[in-house]
Amino acid sequence: MTTFSALTTITGEDAAYKLADDLEAIVPEPTGVGVFEIEDGSGLWEVGAYFMERPDIAALAVLATLHHARPFTVSEIPDQDWVSKVQRELAPVVAGRFFVYGSHDADKVPDDAVPLLIDAAMAFGTGHHGTTLGCLQAFDALLESGITPKNVADVGCGTAVLAMAAAHVLPGVVLASDIDPVAVEVAQANVVSNGLAGRVDCVVGAGFAAERLWDAAPFDLVFANILKAPLIGLAPDMNTHVAAGGHVILSGILNEQADEVVTVYKQNGFNLASKSHIVDWTTLVMSKNSPTL
């Protein structure tokens, strides 16, 4: 069955969400509507919808005009087995000792690797994106340097791949939180499929808001692979919830945004330990009240 997408861009977050609200009310109704910030410093947001039948082009044009958005681009999406397609195209990822793979590549796991199973149907946070890969590499480097955190949290966990990496190689229970309940369900399923039930505790919450994280602080290591704005917003809480001498691994940061994030975290008691780039993305390791490496 052929489905359809309708995409536009608009300036400003509030304007984008207002357009999305009105988009949900048109006939035929979309099966889903999404709003995404375009992280290029332009201030533009993408608003998109998916339809099971051809959308009303005239109604979309009226919406775009009323909301001062660009005209919608409507495209046909041919019927495909998207999971199988992603499985074919996503090769396993090696990040130091960690080996991220889908179940279709289970026979490729090296005997000496730490395996992290993330299937294509749960593809946000598979390790292929430069942000997740950067975090895994940074964590591996910390371990290689002799640092062995005892109390670890993964804030904005997505698939929980980072929390699971920590649980594989460190003692204790790793906490994983996400603001999205669906993401937390995915994370819990991944924990079970990786044989880590009882080793990773997945909870719903924004930042450190979940009671489970408040009770467990201070942390020796916190992963936060999100975006620049929420990372900056989290900086004071990081100061509160990270132990002296502890580390944070931060990503979801475009290269040109990295200096701003470093500055804010320095203002909140952290020093830059390391910085790495993978294509357009930067991963930062910050240490609390420790000398710069």
Residue 5 bridge partners (DSSP): 50, 75
pLDDT at 79: 63
Which residue would you say has higher pLDDT here, 130 or 6? 6
Q: Using CA atoms, how far apart are residues 107 and 5, in angstroms rounded to an integer?
A: 37
Axis-axis angle for helices 161-169, 181-193 (nearest 10):
40
Number of other residues whose CB lies within 10 A of the CB of residue 92: 20
Axis-axis angle for helices 57-66, 13-23 (nearest 10):
150
Q: Using CA atoms, how far apart are residues 73 and 81, in angstroms rounded to an integer?
A: 24
Residue among 237, 93, 99 nearest 177 (CA): 237
Residue 87 has pLDDT above 60, yes or no: no
Q: Is the Cα torsion angle 165, 166, 172, 178 positive or negative in sign?
A: negative
Share of the chain above pLDDT 90, in %: 62
pLDDT at 203: 95
Q: Which residues contact 268 (CB under 8 A, 6 or more apart)?
A: 235, 236, 238, 239
**Type of residue found at 209:** A
What is the value of pTM for the model shown?
0.70
Q: Using CA atoms, how far apart are residues 258 and 239, in angstroms rounded to an integer?
A: 18
Return phi, psi of residue 240, to 5°: -75, -40
Instruction: Write down the mean pLDDT value for the chain.
Output: 87
Q: Which residues contact 193 (CB under 8 A, 6 or more apart)?
A: 117, 119
Average pLDDT for 216-239: 93
Residue among 157, 139, 158, 159 nearest 149 (CA): 139
pLDDT at 291: 45
pLDDT in tens, 128-158: 456 888 999 999 999 999 999 999 999 999 8
Q: Using CA atoms, how far apart are residues 65 and 83, in angstroms rounded to an integer?
A: 36
Residue 31 has pLDDT above 50, yes or no: yes
Q: Using CA atoms, how far apart are residues 142 and 246, in angstroms rounded to an integer?
A: 11
Place of tokens 């603001």: 179
pLDDT in tens, 70-82: 999 998 876 655 4
Share of the chain above pLDDT 70, in %: 89
Which residue would you say has higher pLDDT here, 126 or 43? 43
Strand order across the beta sheet in which 3-11 lies? 32-37, 44-51, 3-11, 73-77
Which residue would you say has higher pLDDT here, 124 or 120? 120
Average pLDDT for 279-289: 91
